[in-house]
Structure 1
Amino acid sequence: MSMPNNADDPRDEYREEGYPGQGQDQPGQLDQTWPRPDHGEQSYRGHGRLRGRKALVTGGDSGIGRAVAIAFAREGADVAIAHLPEEQGDADETVRLIRDAGREGLSLPGDVRDEAFAAQIVDRTRTGLGGLDILVLNAGYQKDRAGLATLETAEFDRVLRTNLYGLMFTARAAVPHLEAGASIIVTASIQAFQPSPTLIDYAMTKAAQVAFVRALAEELGPAGVRVNAVAPGPIWTPLIPATGWDDQKLNAFGQDTPLGRAGQPAEVAGAYVYLASEEASYVSGAVLPVTGGKPL
C-alpha cells in the first residue's frame, strides 16, 4: 500500500505560465516588476544555522540578493547589503526585513564598478557589523544583445566591470580578513554552461566566475575558507524585465525547464544558506545548480 505524499508538487509551486510583456530601465525596480517576485518575505523560516555570523551581500536590494539577505537574517546572521544608489527604496525595505528578523542590517549604496567603493564595503561591513565571515558576490548586469557585431564597447565594459571587476575588487579586499570557517559564495549562472547568443557578454562573465571560484577555492582551502557558486537558471527578478527582452521572450520565460516554469528568488536562497552553513563544511569549489532541472 502506498503512503500518502505530503510533498508539494514543484511544477505548480508558483506561476506556471510565462510572464506578461513589460520593460524597464536598468537597474530593475521592484515596484515596476509584475507579478512581484517572492523573496521569501512571508515564507522563509530560519533554524539558526547562521547564528552570530556577519554577511555582506552585493546586489542585495532585490531579486536573489534580497532573498539571500532575508534567509541569512532569519538564520541568525547580521547582513550588510551593497546596492546602486538608484535602488535605495528597495534596499531600505530589505534592511527593514533584516531588522524585523532581530538582526543588524546595513545599507551600502554605491557602484561595484568603482574600485574604491567595491573595496570599501568590506571595511564598512566589518565596522558596522563587527566582522565579516560570509561574502556573497551577487551584483550583476545583463542586457539583450542583437548580435556581436552591434555590441557596443561601453556596454561590454559595463558587463565586465559589474560582473567581474566588481567581484574581484570586493573579494580581493575581503580575503586578508577572512578567517577559518569563512565562506565566499558567487552568483554564477546556467549561462556559464549553456550560453545564449543574446547574452554573449553576460555568459562570458559567468563562465569566468566559475573559473574564479574553482581557482580561489584551491588558494583559500588551506586557510579553512570555502569558496563556492550557485548557478541559477531562469529566476523571476527585476533584472529580467530590465534585460530588454520582447513580449514573446517574457511570455516563454522559464517554460523550457523540465519543471515547466521559472523559479522565484525564494527558491534559490536555501542554496546560499546551505553553502554558508556548517552542513557544507566539506564543500568548496562547487557550483550548485538551481535551474528547474536544466543540466549544467
Structure 2
Amino acid sequence: MHNDHLIDPTTKHTTDPFPRQEQRPPGLTDQMHPLPDHGEQSYRGANRLVGRKALITGGDSGIGRAIAIAFAREGADVAISYLPEEDSDAEETARWIEDAGRMPLMMPGDLRDESFCNDLIGRVRSTFGGLDLLVLNAAHQRNRGGIDEIPTDDFETVMRVNLFAPIFLTRAAVPHLRGGSSIITTTSIQGFDPSSSLVDYAMTKAALVAFTKALAEELGPRGIRVNAVAPGPIWTPLIPATGWPDKLPEFGHNTPLGRAGQPAELAGAYVYLASDDASYVSGAILPVTGGRPL
C-alpha cells in the first residue's frame, strides 16, 4: 500500500538548473528567476509563538522573509530590519505579516552602524512593549577570485554586517531579555566546509558558531537560550547577488537531495528553536543542508 501523503524531498521543489543571472548586492526578489518559495501558500501556524515579540535582521527577503511569515502565523509580532534599497521586498514581507493578523514593524537602515543597531532594539521594545526573539540573520557575501583580490572596503562590509552587527544587537538586547527568550543566529555550512571563493564570508560563519556556543553558556543560567541554524545552498537574493552567474546552473546539485533548498524549508527550524518545544535546546547548531554533513 502506498502512502499518498508522503512527499519526496528530492522532488518537492525544482531540480531544474537555475538560469544564469546576476544582480548588484543586496539583490531583490522580483528580479530572481525562478522566484523563491517563502512559505506564503504552504506554512501553517500552530500558535507556538503567541504573544512573542521578534526582531529579524535581513527580514525583508529570502530566509528572513520565510522566518517572518512563519513567526507571524505562529502568533508573534515581527520587526524586520533591512537596507533602504530593499524596501520593495520589505513591503511585501510586511504585507504577509499583516495577513497573518500580526503587527509588522519595518526598520530600514545599515547594520554596519552601531547606533542604528542600538536604535533597533530600542524601537522594538518601545513599539511592541518588549523583545523575546532576536534572529541574527542578515549577511553579506561576494565571490572572491582569490585572497589577493579581496577589496578592503567590501571585506569590512562582510565583517561588520556578519559579525559586528550581531555583537552590537546582542549587547543592546541582552539586558532586556527575560527567561524564556531566545536568540537564533544564521550561520552556514560554509562555517564548517568553507569554499575558497567565499573565504571571508566563511570566516564569519565559523565565528558565529563559536559566538552561539559561548553565548549559550553565558546566558543559560538566566533562562535565555541561544542556538543557530546552518543553511546549505538556499535560493535567495543573496545568491544571484554574489557574483557567480556561471555557477548557478549547478547550485545545490552537490547535496544528497540533489537540489537547492527554498527559504520555506528553513522556517520550521527557526520556529522550533524559538518555541517552548526546544526548551532544553541551547548551544545547538541545526543543519538544514539537503543532507550535506556539517
Q: What TM-score does the superposition give when structure 1 sets the normalisation length?
A: 0.98
Partner of 2:293: 295
**Structure 2 residue 275 is the aligned partner of structure 1 residue 270:** no
Moved more, 124-133 or 51-60: 124-133
1:234-285 Cα offsets, whole Å, 9 max, x none, are 00000000000032x1000000100000000000010000000010000000
Partner of 2:214: 215
Whether the 8 Å contact between 1:136 and 1:184 is mirrored in structure 2 is yes
In the TM superposition, what are the counterparts of 1:80-91 in structure 2 within 5 Å? 80-91=79-90
* Letter aligned with residue 267 of structure 1: E
**Structure 2 residue 154 is the aligned partner of structure 1 residue 177:** no
* Letter aligned with residue 163 of structure 2: L
In the TM superposition, what are the counterparts of 1:29-68 in structure 2 within 5 Å? 29-68=28-67
1:147-206 Cα offsets, whole Å, 9 max, x none, are 001111111111000100011111110000000000000000000000000000000000
Partner of 2:132: 133
**Structure 2 residue 131 is the aligned partner of structure 1 residue 147:** no
Moved more, 96-105 or 198-207: 96-105
State the alpha-carbon separation in 1 of the partners of residues 93 and 245 from structure 2: 29
Whether the 8 Å contact between 1:17 and 1:255 is mirrored in structure 2 is no
Partner of 1:77: 76
* Letter aligned with residue 11 of structure 1: T
Partner of 2:205: 206
Partner of 2:277: 279
* Letter aligned with residue 268 of structure 2: G
* Letter aligned with residue 193 of structure 1: F
In the TM superposition, what are the counterparts of 1:107-256 in structure 2 within 5 Å? 107-247=106-246, 249-256=247-254
- SS state of the match for residue 220, structure 1? helix
* Letter aligned with residue 255 of structure 1: H
Partner of 2:259: 261
Whether the 8 Å contact between 1:184 and 1:228 is mirrored in structure 2 is yes
TM-aligned CA deviation for residue 118 of structure 1: 1.0
- SS state of the match for residue 135, structure 2? strand
- SS state of the match for residue 267, structure 2? helix
- SS state of the match for residue 6, structure 2? coil
TM-aligned CA deviation for residue 92 of structure 1: 1.0
TM-aligned CA deviation for residue 4 of structure 1: 3.0
CA root-mean-square deviation: 0.8
* Letter aligned with residue 71 of structure 1: A
- SS state of the match for residue 10, structure 2? helix
Moved more, 119-128 or 4-13: 4-13
Whether the 8 Å contact between 1:78 and 1:105 is mirrored in structure 2 is yes
* Letter aligned with residue 151 of structure 1: I
* Letter aligned with residue 18 of structure 2: Y
Where do 5+ consecutive residues of structure 2 fail to align?
Answer: none
Q: What TM-score does the superposition give when structure 2 sets the normalisation length?
A: 0.99
Where do 5+ consecutive residues of structure 1 fail to align?
Answer: none
State the alpha-carbon separation in 1 of the partners of residues 70 and 91 from structure 2: 16
State the alpha-carbon separation in 1 of the partners of residues 150 and 2 from structure 2: 56
State the alpha-carbon separation in 1 of the partners of residues 19 and 161 from structure 2: 28
- SS state of the match for residue 143, structure 2? coil
- SS state of the match for residue 200, structure 2? helix
- SS state of the match for residue 183, structure 2? strand
- SS state of the match for residue 186, structure 1? strand
- SS state of the match for residue 164, structure 2? helix
TM-aligned CA deviation for residue 5 of structure 1: 5.4
Partner of 1:25: 24
What percentage of aligned pairs have identical amino acids? 65
